[in-house]
Amino acid sequence: MEGPKGKGGGHVHRLKLLHLFFSSLFLNVLFSSYLFLSHRPYLDWSRAAAAEAELVAAIFCSGHGRAYLDGILVDGVPTCECNTCYAGANCSQLLPDCPADADSGDPLFLEPYWQHHAGSSAVVFSGWHRMSYRTTGDNFISLELEKHIRLLHEAVGNAVTDGRFIIFGSGSTQLLNALVYALSPENASTPASVVASAPYYALYKMQTEVFDGREYEWKGITSKWVNTSVSSMENFIEFVTSPNNPDGRLRQSVLGGPFIIYDHAYYWPHYTAIPAPADEDVMIFTDSKLSGHASSRFGWAVIKDERVYQKATEYMGVNTMGVSRDTQLRVLKLIKVMLAEMRGEGGIFEFGYETIAERWSKLSKAISSSHRFSLQQLSPQYCTYFKKIRDPSPAYAWLKCEMEEDVDCSAVLSEAGIISRTGTVFEAGSRYTRLSLIKTQDDFDLLLQRMEALVSKEDIASF
């Protein structure tokens, strides 16, 4: 009787095992179906592009460079684009005697931030994404992006946007001239006088001279015009950069006329304490110095007066028919990440501030013992964003050569293997020169090393 029982038991076992097997098979099928039916439609047309992007991002460049999707191809693969002074297929080779390049305001200090926020900051463009000239808002503006820009200013507390108009530009660059145009008189007998206080950002003058419109002309630095009568102020357009490029100081108008363009490119907690939200009639901001995406060419202006807004909008329409909608989508994503991560460990302002404050502190320390060089004086200041007194963290060091014989400060640095931007570019004289603190860590490390060497030579010379 065991037989049948055994047989029966075996049968039951077999059934159980069969059941298990088929369950497992079912799970297998279910699992693969899940992956292929739920993930494939999920990642169908975007899969190849995503895989390509990840492959390129994974190309090893020794931490001294990176490969991009649109990089130059060698054997079909994008090559590493190395940081300054690094070379070789994998950027592993530090070039000897390569000058430290502290010239440009290339905001690559924020690159690691975005590398750490890879998952949330990526964007996928379908081939048919928003092809039309038209977008959600009037004048070629994405309403979601406009909304998020307002939310960001609100969250940071660096500008009042309620009841103001917002216009987009290809970087602040395009907006500078658009606003000179918008603030210039339409049929006046004399063109508007465009001015700025030295040291000033060279592009103000350059644009006014290159575009050479009949309605405006460059009239130099404000100090020449401080005794102008109040009535004549109507004819001035004053650029005020705050914090200032190159020296990082918060600034106000010198002439106090009615037409002022506040360039607030650096009015973010990375670079300065925020004493209060800016509340001027015309304010310009740029994503280049906010998120660090200088490549995207995206800026915006916050404008109080409707007529000025309309004229600037007209300029944007006729100049480029608005800003690339591709860029508008990308910047929207970046601002969403900045908003979501704000005031936490993953905050961009926390990261940005700490990075530059440390660089400034190291450079200051290196120069503190020098009699030959000095830096601009910046003091700790209360910041409404961080809700505490914070140390300086300017985008640039504004270096002065103190010795009588060092007439050309930039040349002095150049001899010591440091590329800087001479003060004459800022109409401040050649005794000054600008050093960028916002480039890659490699750039800063080399700059610091060279400055330390230069200052230590001074100590030796003084013995």
Beta carbons within 8 Å of 77's beta carbon, 6+ residues apart: 59, 67
Phi, psi of 253 (to 5 degrees): -65, 140
Token pair in block for residue 277? 């939200």
Judged by CB under 8 A, the residue of 213, 346, 417, 429 near its own copies is: 213
Burial of 33 (0-12, 13-18, 19+ CB in 10 A): exposed
Q: What residues between 48 and 67 interact with its own copies by CB under 8 A? A: 48-55, 57-58, 66
Q: How is residue 310 written in tokens?
A: 């309309």
As measured in angstroms, the least distance from the Cβ of 125 to its own copies is 5
Of 10-18, 220-228, 231-239, 426-434, which part binds its own copies (CB under 8 A)?
Answer: 10-18
CA–CA separation, 108 and 292 (whole Å): 6
> Which residue number, 71 or 258, has a Cβ lying nearer to its own copies?
71
Tell me the residue type at 116: H
Q: Which of 206, 233, 250, 339 binds its own copies (CB under 8 A)?
A: 206
450 binds its own copies (CB under 8 A): no
Report the site for its own copies in 391-420 (rule: CB under 8 A).
none
Which positions from 269 through 288 interact with its own copies, judged by CB under 8 A? 288
Q: Which of 261, 303, 266 is nearest to 285 (CA)?
A: 266
What's the closest the beta carbon of residue 322 comes to its own copies, in angstroms?
7
Query: Among residue numbers 13 through 52, which ones bind its own copies (CB under 8 A)?
Result: 13-14, 17-18, 20-21, 24-25, 27-28, 31-32, 35, 41-52
Q: Does 3 bind its own copies (CB under 8 A)?
A: yes
The residue (of 244 and 313) whose beta carbon lies closer to its own copies is 313
Query: Which string of x and - marks every residue 133-152 that binds its own copies (by CB under 8 A)?
Result: xxxx-----xxxx-------
Q: How many residues does the chain have?
A: 463
Determine, following the binding rule CB under 8 A, whether residue 122 of this chain makes contact with its own copies: yes
| Binding residue (CB under 8 A) for its own copies from 59, 71, 305, 441 | 71
| Strand, helix or coil for residue 236 | strand
| Residue 118 near its own copies by CB under 8 A | yes
Between CA 2 and CA 5 the distance in angstroms is 5
Tokens matching residue 339: 């908003």
Q: Among candidates 428, 431, 107, 440, which has minimal Cα distance to 249?
A: 428
Cα gap 70→394, rounded to integer Å? 32
Contact call for residue 345 and its own copies (CB under 8 A): no
Of 33, 37, 60, 69, which one interacts with its own copies (CB under 8 A)? 69
Q: What is the closest distance, in whole angstroms, from the C-beta atom of residue 20 to its own copies in the complex?
A: 5
Q: Determine the Cα–Cα distance for residues 190 and 210; give it in Å rounded to an integer.
A: 19
- Give the separation between CA 441 and CA 366, rounded to whole angstroms: 17
From candidates 99, 246, 322, 352, binder to its own copies by CB under 8 A:
322
